[in-house]
Chains A and B, each alone.
Chain A
Amino acid sequence: MPQVRDYTDIVGKAVIEELFMIGEKSRSMSIQHINSTAVGGGVAEILTRLVPMMNELGVRTRWDVIKGGERFFSITKKMHNALHGVVENFGDDEWEHFLEVDRENAHSMTFDNSVVFVHDPQPIGLVEERSHYSNKWVWRCHIDFSEPRQNVWFFLKDFIEEFDGAIFSAPAFSRPLSTKQFLISPSIDPLSNKNRDLDEAYIGEVFDRFNIDRSRPVITQISRFDYLKDPVGVIKAYKLVKRYIDCQLVLAGGGATDDPEGEKVLSEVRAAADGDKDIFVLLLPPSSDLEINALQRGSTVVLQKSLREGFGLTVAEALWKGKPVIASAVGGIPLQIKHKYNGILTHTIEGTAYWMKQLINEPDYANELGKNGREHIRQNFLITRHLRDYLLLSLSLFHDKDIVYL
């Protein structure tokens, strides 16, 4: 696994020295991260990298994962959808079961670190334990919180206000709360298998393995099979383009252990593909990072046509690879793409199809977008910036004033 200094060539020496300096100032702290899945999804992915890096900087950091059964994760999936604005009804027994599972987890865990980061709604009930400790607790929300359904919002709000701070990925997710709120965008790791440079030969080999023809344009969306990623909408957009351009569509993604809906979505996607040999629906196992990297790098255009999005790390991944990206203007995506400057933002299936045709037919413009996109990610969305923000946030919890001299 790469060390912090291995990022020097990518972000520059000054950034790395700043990180070590902040690490030195943070050594008296210890940090605990808690979420609901060890593999699959952006949260687990980023913690896999951030936790060892925090330790390397001298800040003792550990990562715990709560356990839950099928019913628990069905409830949390409904909560997730409701936070994204989908109508979901909850019975009292569901709220009770949710809290019961969090309480069972709490009894088998300890929270004796200086700062406890609780990620997303699944483990939020653990905050009931905070009265037994004198440390700081932060709720890290990775979800699009712009229009939450009131039933879930009121349930969560009481818990959120128990924390010392709440972190959101975009300004639009911020709401009136009695606790402090911070903006920390997620990030990608440029040295991970999903993002590191690849040999052209390997990229070709992956495309050959899936029988995708690189001599024709390839449009790709990488995301897990979820209604909110609108994979069926992507197929509709592809069909509008296919009338004029002989292109192929790749829909590739994995599943996560906390997402019971994936199977259902996948079968609907296969039905929508309707036997088209130029549509490749690839359900990839969790160990497929290199394949995903190759699919992004070998694509002509990358899509992220989400209906809702927390941040949309796959957009940052594609931009980092210098690819022209067309993505929906939802969640944190507008933070990553400035329309027509480093990517394209769309709102409809027709608009997405229009820009797919434009970018396939105007490769020079598409390349320029990709070049700007990579630079934007380098400046703002790499893991080193994320690491710095988490440490600064932890330090800020122990200072009353908004100007801190380190």
Chain B
Amino acid sequence: MSLSRLSNRDARWKEYRSPSRFELFTWLVKGQMTESQTTPFEFKSRLILTELLGRRAATLSELTDGIREVPLSSIYHHTHRFLQQHHFLSPEPPNDFAYWATNMLNDEIAGERLASIDVTQFVKLSDLRKRFLQLLENYQAERSEAAAGKGKNFGSEARCPEGEEFHFMGSHIFVIPTGKVAWNVADFVDILKSISIHSIYFHMFEAKLRLEKGDNDFSIWLRSAGRTEEASEISGLDPYTFTLEGLREKLLEIMTDASS
């Protein structure tokens, strides 16, 4: 396999294979790869299969119980579904819990509070689940106290209209190769310009929280390649406030600014 072919960004996924020792030696000698950059970055993407959990909620208490008991993959699904399906519409998508509380329960305060949870701050789904539970339990306690203060019995909770229940779902993810491999930072930037937004989504969101790597894949790789400044800047982004195309532009801007 020739060097030009290995760096061909249009190579199909099945043409990718791990480099041989001889090829690695050749790149090192020719300066294609620095010593600190020991592994190429393979852009991946992912496909989703939605699982129905057969569990529904009609009140805030039932929603709370569900959040407490469903698998963590369901917490991920409901905090990222809107971002995945309507990535081109909204730079600041609400999570499903917030959307349902606002629109189906007509509880705008609960909805606003649920929407305010800063998902970027979490690296573990179990901690994210705890935060939702804490918020909901506090809110319900506040409402009970307020009702008691007015001498009311906080017995009957608001229910959503029939047919508008919250349905808990989860997802199976299938991680797939895209065939695009960056052998150095220049390659990385070139590929980033054209790779599908689903790949960007996978490396920025799914890798950090669903795979619980603690950081996004781009920052992890750039750090290993000695590009700590760009790595930190990307880690510091709040990717939830961008559309996926907007996020691509921001990543390219960070990479371009650092090289200029």
Known contacts A392-B47, A402-B172, A406-B174; decide if A174 and B73 are in contact (CB<8 Å): no
In A371-406, the 8 Å CB interface with B consists of 380, 388-389, 392-393, 395-396, 399, 402-406
Are B163 and A174 closer than 8 Å at their CB atoms?
A: no
Closest to A404 in B: B174
Closest to B176 in A: A406
Would you give the shortest CB distance from A293 to chain B, in whole angstroms?
28
Closest to B198 in A: A14
Closest to B50 in A: A183
Are B167 and A174 closer than 8 Å at their CB atoms?
A: yes
Q: Please, what's the 1-or-0 string for A163-205, where 1 marks a CB less than 8 Å from any CB in chain B?
A: 0000010011011110011111000000000000000000000
Are A172 and B172 closer than 8 Å at their CB atoms?
A: no
Stretch of A17-25, A92-100, A241-249, A250-258 lying at the B interface = A17-25
Query: Is residue B51 within 8 Å, beta carbon to beta carbon, of the partner chain?
Result: yes
Among candidates B54, B163, B165, B169, residue contacting A176 with C-beta atoms closer than 8 Å: B54
Are B52 and A174 closer than 8 Å at their CB atoms?
A: yes
In B100-123, the 8 Å CB interface with A consists of none
For B165, list chain A residues within 8 Å (CB).
Answer: 172
In B31-65, the 8 Å CB interface with A consists of 45, 47, 49-56
A403 to B53, CA, bound (A): 17
For A182, list chain B residues within 8 Å (CB).
Answer: 49-52
Query: Is residue A146 within 8 Å, beta carbon to beta carbon, of the partner chain?
Result: yes
Would you give the shortest CB distance from A304 to chain B, in whole angstroms?
18
Query: Is residue B210 within 8 Å, beta carbon to beta carbon, of the partner chain?
Result: yes
A181 to B73, CA, bound (A): 14
Are B169 and A171 closer than 8 Å at their CB atoms?
A: yes
Among candidates A21, A172, A380, residue contacting B167 with C-beta atoms closer than 8 Å: A172
Known contacts A174-B167, A396-B172, A403-B175; decide if A388 and B47 are in contact (CB<8 Å): yes
A399 to B173, CA, bound (A): 11
For A183, list chain B residues within 8 Å (CB).
Answer: 50-52, 169
Are A18 and B49 closer than 8 Å at their CB atoms?
A: no
Would you give the shortest CB distance from A336 to chain B, in whole angstroms?
13
Are A404 and B53 closer than 8 Å at their CB atoms?
A: no
In B1-48, the 8 Å CB interface with A consists of 12-14, 45, 47
Q: Please, what's the 1-or-0 string for A30-50, where 1 marks a CB less than 8 Å from any CB in chain B?
A: 000000000000000000000
Would you give the shortest CB distance from B180 to chain A, in whole angstroms?
11
Are A396 and B49 closer than 8 Å at their CB atoms?
A: yes
In B143-192, the 8 Å CB interface with A consists of 163, 165, 167, 169-177
- Give A residues with C-beta under 8 Å from B: 14, 17-18, 21-22, 24, 146, 168, 171-172, 174-177, 180-184, 380, 388-389, 392-393, 395-396, 399, 402-406
9 A-B pairs with least C-beta separation: A174-B52, A171-B167, A181-B52, A183-B50, A392-B49, A176-B54, A402-B172, A405-B175, A174-B54
